[in-house]
Amino acid sequence: MSTAKAEPLSEQGPKIEDILQQMERVLASADFHLPERGRKFFRFVVTETLEGRSQYLKAFTIANEIFGRQNSFDAQNDPVVRIEAGRIRRGLERYYLVAGQSDAIVITIPKGGYVPRFEYARGSHSAGQSEHTGHIDLLPSSNGRGRQKLSMAALLIGALVTMSVAGFYVMATPDIFTLHDSPAGSSGPMVVVDMFQTDDPDGREFDIAQGLRDEVIGQLATFNDLVVVVDPSKANYKGTAGYSLQASVQRDGDKLRSILRLVRRSDAAVVWANNYDADLRVRSILQIQADIGQQIAIAVAQPYGAVFLSDNDNAARPDVNAAADAYDCTSAYYSYRRAMSLQSHTAARECLQRATLRSPKSARSWALLSLIYLDAMRFRYKLGMVPEAATMELATDAAERATSIAPNDTRALQATMLVSFFNNDTDKALKAGAAAYAQNSNDAEVAGEYGLRLAMSGKWQSGCELISRALNQGAGPKGYYEVGMALCAFTRGDLQAAELWSRMCDLEYNPMHRLVLLSILGAEGKSAEATKERDWLNVNAPEMMKNIRREVSLRLQRKEDQDRFLGGLRGSGIAIESASAEMISSN
């Protein structure tokens, strides 16, 4: 490696010795999940940059220095450097979301290269940096989905999210991609990514189109509910739903248009289509490809995306075929989440119970069964259920089975997070949530559920940002994340925004949503409106009204948050018993 004189860093930026200390802090953290090779990669790019050799940080150099590749290394055909860089970016994202929230220095590796960036965290007092106070504007926009004025800390999280890339392994053949540690025994819809078309097959447009295709493949491969196929001749559609993702890329001067559509193989129906326009003068091709690839993957592959909405409209009928496989039951589960009825819950539970008997190595089936059991407790007032005494034990056992089969499966980690949270093991819940989010930050459901657990455990700033992101990406059933935004605004003392968000919830979805609105109205002093909501709850959810303190404490972990919420209810005219009195009455 040739040497060069280190150039001084920006006078406003961190000092070299402080950066080195921060690097060691990250590497020493248990929340920076990387194998030794990734750690060596991270240390190498940081130290090379600090020593003034950032211009040599290319894929070829890194492949030789870190991975022992020979001089014949071809970055186009061997993605090892890109894959490892993606894992490092996700590792850094996880670290700063979990362990490094208070760190003064932030290290990132911007996408499109391997040269790290060193900055002071917004709000840090280090090196004479001025303090910035954060703010999230939680007022809904006219389209009802929300607009945000992000705090500087939230912008950091958003930037880290954007920089996440697809880290995937090639399994069995280079033409079929799945996420590493995919759930054993699982089946799922198959998405064949056709060659992206262009009017310039031998020129620059072709290179752009194929780069976009590679990005889309990588982003889709982070969703381990899918099988992603890049060679149609290798596709075996037997026993699974099949789709073709087709695209064309057109360029007119500095304008770039990508036209995408998802076609269902069984009937050639177009189940999703969209156009993406970009200006090459504003952003680089790499940035455009990364952004479009992420948007496509989210629209197509997330649990409430085009593939699953196409397949599961009829999946949760009471007469679900007894021979239904794990994917049929996955569809049944998401149909239930949209309907949120006792009938759909029963159909999904019975389907998943049969699936786990037939395929006991299906991590996905065990994870979703855990969530179904858990919902019998947390949504019991909506579903009209009386959970059995063993419900939480069943949910816990199913989550443990899922993670024992596939420790890094996103859905298994999501189940562990939720079960642990409602078992009052907040530390375990947040660790599982961070791991799930690190596995696939494109999964808006994981981001939203993790955001809710962060917020309700008292980490409101970072949690509310993730809730907002999930909401804007259309995750979850109607009204589910709106109530999270209402709580975010309520906790900040913005009662007007809290009420607006609360009224945007589907108030029939869950009586707990009305309880949130009731607390907000009580805090606002709107007695007449509070009386109306209180009367509705007394008629439609009398058991919940007898156990308010317990229900609130199940969800809000900090005493100060519980007191704020209960104070609003007292303001609405509800007499809240002391914790000891309610415990006696419930027994």
Residues 277-298 pLDDT 10s:
999 888 888 888 888 988 898 8
Please tell me the pTM assigned to this model.
0.64
Per-residue pLDDT for 315 more than 80? no
Residue showing tokens 């395929």: 359
- State residue 156's pLDDT score: 38
Higher pLDDT, 255 or 11: 255
Per-residue pLDDT for 331 more than 50? yes
Are 69 and 63 in contact, with CB atoms under 8 Å apart? yes
- State residue 425's pLDDT score: 95
Give yes or no: residues 290 and 327 share one domain: no
Strands 197-198 and 242-252: parallel
Rounding to the nearest 10 degrees, give the CA dihedral for residues 539, 543, 546, 549: -120
Map residue 400 onto helix, strand or coil.
helix
List Cα–Cα distances, 73 to 38, 68, 210, in angstroms.
Answer: 19, 10, 20
Tokens of 186: 């699982």
Q: What is the pLDDT of residues 66-93, one digit of tens each?
A: 877 766 666 665 667 877 888 888 888 8
- Give the integer Cα–Cα distance in Å for 551 and 445: 23
CATH at residue 181: 3.40.50
Higher pLDDT, 475 or 559: 559
Type of residue at 490: F
- Give the integer Cα–Cα distance in Å for 429 and 552: 18
Does residue 101 lie within any of the structural domains?
yes
Does residue 148 lie within any of the structural domains?
no
- Averaged pLDDT for residues 52-66: 85
Per-residue pLDDT for 166 more than 80? no
Give yes or no: residues 95 and 192 share one domain: no
- State residue 328's pLDDT score: 76
H-helix or E-strand containing 373? Answer: helix 363-378
Tokens of 517: 């609105």
- Give the integer Cα–Cα distance in Å for 174 and 227: 13
Give yes or no: residues 342 and 294 share one domain: no
- Give the integer Cα–Cα distance in Å for 140 and 182: 38
Per-residue pLDDT for 327 more than 80? no
Q: What is the pLDDT of residues 17-54, one digit of tens each?
A: 999 999 999 999 887 877 788 889 999 999 999 988 88
Structural domain containing residue 406: 312-440
- State residue 285's pLDDT score: 85
Does residue 159 lie within any of the structural domains?
no
Give yes or no: residues 423 and 409 share one domain: yes
Does residue 163 lie within any of the structural domains?
no
Band (pLDDT 50/70/90 cuts) for residue 242 is confident
What is the residue-averaged pLDDT of the chain?
80
If one counts the domains in the chain, the total is 3
| Neighbouring residues of 146: CB distance < 8 A, sequence distance ≥ 6 | 138, 140, 468, 471, 472, 485, 501
- Give the integer Cα–Cα distance in Å for 194 and 246: 6
Give yes or no: residues 305 and 348 share one domain: no
| Neighbouring residues of 229: CB distance < 8 A, sequence distance ≥ 6 | 175, 176, 177, 190, 191, 192, 193, 235
Does residue 520 lie within any of the structural domains?
no
Query: Of 400, 420, 440, which one is at a domain's C-terminal end?
Result: 440
Higher pLDDT, 257 or 508: 257
Per-residue pLDDT for 572 more than 60? yes
Give yes or no: residues 306 and 338 share one domain: no
How much of the chain, in percent, has pLDDT values that exceed 90? Answer: 40
Nearest to 530 by CA among 480, 575, 574: 574
- Averaged pLDDT for residues 249-266: 91
Query: Of 265, 282, 311, which one is at a domain's C-terminal end?
Result: 311
- Give the integer Cα–Cα distance in Å for 229 and 168: 13
List Cα–Cα distances, 332 to 317, 342, 361, 446, 541, in angstroms.
Answer: 8, 13, 19, 19, 27
Higher pLDDT, 95 or 177: 95
Give Cα 152 distance to the centre of its chain.
21
Give yes or no: residues 278 and 323 share one domain: no
Are 369 and 401 in contact, with CB atoms under 8 Å apart? no
- Averaged pLDDT for residues 230-234: 74
Does residue 61 lie within any of the structural domains?
yes
- State residue 415's pLDDT score: 97
- State residue 172's pLDDT score: 32
Give yes or no: residues 262 and 333 share one domain: no
Tokens of 198: 């262009």
- Give the integer Cα–Cα distance in Å for 531 and 203: 69
Give yes or no: residues 196 and 324 share one domain: no
Per-residue pLDDT for 117 more than 60? yes
- State residue 492's pLDDT score: 93
Give yes or no: residues 20 and 123 share one domain: yes
Give yes or no: residues 185 and 302 share one domain: yes
Least confident span in 81-95, 530-544, 547-561: 81-95
- Give the integer Cα–Cα distance in Å for 145 and 473: 9
Per-residue pLDDT for 62 more than 80? yes
Type of residue at 303: P
- State residue 161's pLDDT score: 39
Does residue 552 lie within any of the structural domains?
no
Give yes or no: residues 179 and 59 share one domain: no
Query: Of 395, 424, 440, which one is at a domain's C-terminal end?
Result: 440
Does residue 472 lie within any of the structural domains?
no
CATH at residue 403: 1.25.40.10
